[in-house]
Copies of this chain bind each other. A is one copy, B any other.
Amino acid sequence: MEKTGLNDQESLLSLENFLCFAIYSTANAVTRAYQPRLAALGLTYPQYLVMVVLWEEENQTVKAIGEKLSLDSGTLTPLLKRLETAGLITRRRDTVDERQVLIGLTADGRAMRARAEAVPVAMGKAFGCTMDEAKSLRSELIVMRDNLIESIEEVK
């Protein structure tokens, strides 16, 4: 007689997987779903996120962008260089603190915002949920994300 209340099909190795895997596979689907909608702008999904952050506030440091997106310089530096090559952003050393690099928008980068407005409209339909569902799901995920990040510190 099993005392766990779980049968073979519900073993921990299958069951627990599902939440993490649901997150993982949904995130992959998000990226794939954005791709055709971002193609007109010539942006990848992470590049789009950086542009959104910059449309909200110009002249942020690499570190500030990284904190907002939970990405480190190993990811951001090459990504920002590609956005610079594409003529969308500017990168310049802060003259006061020369460790920092300030990321700004070019006229093209600023102008892209208007065209980008169509993306969330299209994606809203693709998600296929109500605004309220989206909001509650979002807040649940953020709680969980912060729990996970906290747990990483503890393991170290």
Chain A binding surface SS class: helix
Q: Cβ of A123 and Cβ of B16 under 8 Å apart?
A: yes
Q: State how many angstroms separate the Cβ of A43 from the closest Cβ of chain B.
A: 13
Instruction: Give the residues from 33 to 79 in chain A that come closer than 8 angstroms, CB to CB, to chain B.
Output: 33-34, 36-37, 45, 49, 52, 55-56, 69-71
Instruction: Give the residues from 93 to 130 in chain A that come closer than 8 angstroms, CB to CB, to chain B.
Output: 113, 116-117, 119-121, 123-129
Q: Cβ of A13 and Cβ of B142 under 8 Å apart?
A: no
**A155 interface residue (CB < 8 Å to B):** yes
Q: State how many angstroms separate the Cβ of A118 from the closest Cβ of chain B.
A: 9
Number of copies: 2
Our pick among B13, B14, B19, B37 for the contact of A137 (Cβ within 8 Å) is B19
**A86 interface residue (CB < 8 Å to B):** no
Question: Most B CB atoms within 10 A — which of A37, A127, A141?
Answer: A141
* Interface band, chain A: 35 or more
Question: Given known contacts A13-B55, A23-B23, what 20 new A-B pairs fall within 8 Å (CB)?
Answer: A15-B120, A19-B138, A20-B123, A22-B141, A23-B30, A24-B30, A24-B45, A25-B70, A28-B70, A29-B70, A29-B148, A30-B148, A32-B149, A32-B152, A125-B151, A126-B151, A127-B148, A128-B148, A133-B140, A137-B144
Q: Which residues of A contact B (CB under 8 A)?
A: 12-34, 36-37, 45, 49, 52, 55-56, 69-71, 113, 116-117, 119-121, 123-129, 133-135, 137-138, 140-145, 147-149, 151-152, 155-156
